[in-house]
């Protein structure tokens, strides 16, 4: 048995024992949540954020706080369109698992076998022509973040796409793989990913103000962004569909989505289990920057692992999965306790909100082994 597996098994046995004695914690009232959000936002100068709480697979609270635009003093509302960032990847993974259920797609079949041309024949992937490892790439590698690519090629010194490790050998967060998987679905299966996600995901859950592409009707009620230093960034009108992160959404819509995901709505029991099953160990000391040598024993101690589009770990309450979404002006986070079908969803147009998420998540869900040190590298 490997050291990682020994650590995970040991941690799981301890946590499972604790779980039997861990009664479900009552959720704080909506009034208490609102007050705690206001207190923490004021302390950290968070311009705007929104919160949703899900319990037993049902939305029990949705709130929006602060401002969508400071200069205009425009309030953030529960139907204000905000940038979903990498929460897009989880919605995309849910869509992919529907294709798996239908027998149209296999997570472990090489993506190259679906494409009508070899991957390097596509202009965007000509950099891979001299490295045959592209032939081994699968959807599971993409959704587990084990492709071997950097997060984005433009982070490379020469801005060229390359493998840093064999596919399936190492966790390293990467948006590049999602571009290849999207290409495979479009070129190999003939799907319009934006339209399919609209029909299969957003329409299914009544997410009327969510889209993979910019919509003109978003403009009157839109959140702009604010950096760590309070600097302003106007909302980007993303005209192209990107499985890696083009979703615009609202807190009300995200509440519906994650309630559906935690219930397993629209998926077979097997595919729902596959979404959050611990599939690949995460040994890195932090998520970003990616592909940095070194590890942290706290990860294996809680069974920190990649699922399909999410990250999972063990806790006294049982398995927990989470997904973040981030850029210099956006901070999003979803944390779900499997046993209680209980989630918190945080969206923020002010990246400073990430400073308060550990406290706020603990206030709502109770103390967990959530690896904030890994997620935010602090």
pLDDT tens string 2-39? 444 444 444 444 444 444 446 678 999 999 999 999 99
Of the chain, the percentage scoring pLDDT greater than 90 comes to 92
- Give the E-state strand segments of 190-245 in sequence order: 225-226, 232-233
**Does residue 159 sit within a domain?**
no
**Does residue 36 sit within a domain?**
yes
Task: Give the C-alpha separation, 50 to 65, whole Å.
Answer: 6
**Does residue 154 sit within a domain?**
no
Of 4-13, 195-204, 219-228, 266-275, least confident by mean pLDDT is 4-13
Query: Which CATH number does the domain housing residue 53 bear?
Result: 3.40.710.10
**Does residue 107 sit within a domain?**
no
pLDDT of residue 37: 98
Q: Are strands 58-69 and 48-55 parallel, antiparallel or unpaired?
A: antiparallel
Task: Tell me how many domains the chain contains.
Answer: 1
Task: Give the C-alpha separation, 364 to 375, whole Å.
Answer: 19
Range of the domain at 328: 3-87+210-376
Asked whether residue 350 carries a pLDDT value surpassing 70, the answer given is: yes
**Does residue 254 sit within a domain?**
yes
Asked whether residue 296 carries a pLDDT value surpassing 80, the answer given is: yes
3-class state of residue 157 by DSSP: coil
Top-confidence residue, 12 or 141: 141
**Does residue 190 sit within a domain?**
no
**CA 15 to chain CA mean position, Å:** 24
- Predicted TM-score (pTM) of this structure: 0.94
Top-confidence residue, 3 or 165: 165
**Does residue 146 sit within a domain?**
no
**Does residue 261 sit within a domain?**
yes
């Amino acid at each position: 048995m490997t050291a990682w597996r020994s650590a995970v098994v040991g941690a799981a046995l301890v946590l499972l024992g604790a779980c039997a004695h861990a009664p479900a914690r009552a959720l704080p009232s909506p009034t208490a949540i609102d007050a705690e959000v206001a207190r923490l936002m004021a302390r950290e100068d968070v311009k705007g954020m929104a919160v949703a709480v899900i319990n037993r697979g049902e939305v029990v609270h949705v709130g929006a706080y602060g401002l969508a635009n400071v200069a205009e003093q425009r309030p953030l509302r529960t139907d204000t369109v905000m940038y979903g960032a990498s929460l897009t990847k989880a919605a995309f993974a849910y869509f992919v698992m529907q294709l798996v259920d239908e027998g149209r797609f296999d997570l472990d079949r090489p993506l190259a076998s679906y494409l009508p041309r070899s991957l390097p024949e596509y202009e965007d992937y000509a950099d891979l022509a001299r490295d045959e490892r592209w032939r081994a790439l699968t959807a599971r590698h993409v959704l587990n973040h084990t492709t071997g690519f950097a997060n984005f090629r433009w982070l490379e010194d020469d801005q060229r796409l390359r493998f840093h490790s064999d596919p399936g050998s190492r966790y390293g967060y990467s948006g590049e793989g999602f571009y290849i998987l999207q290409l495979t679905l479009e070129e190999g299966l003939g799907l319009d990913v934006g339209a399919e996600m609209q029909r299969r995901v957003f329409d299914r859950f009544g997410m009327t103000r969510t889209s993979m592409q910019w919509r003109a009707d978003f403009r009157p009620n839109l959140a702009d962004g604010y950096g760590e230093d309070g600097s302003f960034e106007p909302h980007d009108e993303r005209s192209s569909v990107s499985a890696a992160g083009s979703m615009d959404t609202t807190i009300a819509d995200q509440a519906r989505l994650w309630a559906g995901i935690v219930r397993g709505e629209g998926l077979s029991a097997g595919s729902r289990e596959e979404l959050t099953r611990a599939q690949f160990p995460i040994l890195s000391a932090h998520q970003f920057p990616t592909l940095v040598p070194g590890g942290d024993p706290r990860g294996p101690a809680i069974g920190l692992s990649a699922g399909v589009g999410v990250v999972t770990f063990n806790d006294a309450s049982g398995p927990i999965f989470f997904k973040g979404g981030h850029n210099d002006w956006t901070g999003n986070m979803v944390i779900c306790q499997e046993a209680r079908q209980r989630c918190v969803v945080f969206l923020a147009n002010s990246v400073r909100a990430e400073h308060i998420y550990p406290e706020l998540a603990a206030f709502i869900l109770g103390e967990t082994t959530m690896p904030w040190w890994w997620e935010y590298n602090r």
